Amino acid sequence: MSLIFVYGTLKRGGTNHHNLADQVLVGAAQTSAGFCLYNVGTFPGMVRRADDRDGVTGEIWDVTAECLARLDELEDTAHGMYRRETVPLAPPWDQGPVETYIYLRNVKTLPHIGSNWPV
């Protein structure tokens, strides 16, 4: 099992949440400062942003290797849309490694939406 932080359409109630339906919800969480969301259209993209003071809100899920492979495919990691990497979380979740999906494409022309999806 692996811990994954989700912040957009994979959250409960999101359009892609069915991909986590048979996994274990650990709880609500927030990244440390230095991360924010951009509106990519029907989904958000989380990027590192040094001047961010709030972080991003989301959920931590305990997922199987099979689920993680499904999520990598959904997030198009093979073609460079997202990269799965370890992200620092705010207390009390700052005790161990948790991964998330970082958006890799240019956000210069995308609307900045802060720390929460949906907007």
Tell me the mean pLDDT in the region 7-16: 97
Task: For residues 92 and 103, give the distance between their C-alpha atoms in angstroms, rounded to a whole number.
Answer: 25
Q: Domains in the chain, please, with CATH?
A: 2-114 (3.10.490.10)
The residue type found at 87 is V
Is 59 among the residues known to form the active site?
no
**What SS3 class is residue 72?**
helix
| Entry pTM | 0.95
The percent of residues in the chain predicted with pLDDT above 90, rounded, is 92
Residue among 59, 75, 85, 99 flagged as catalytic: 75
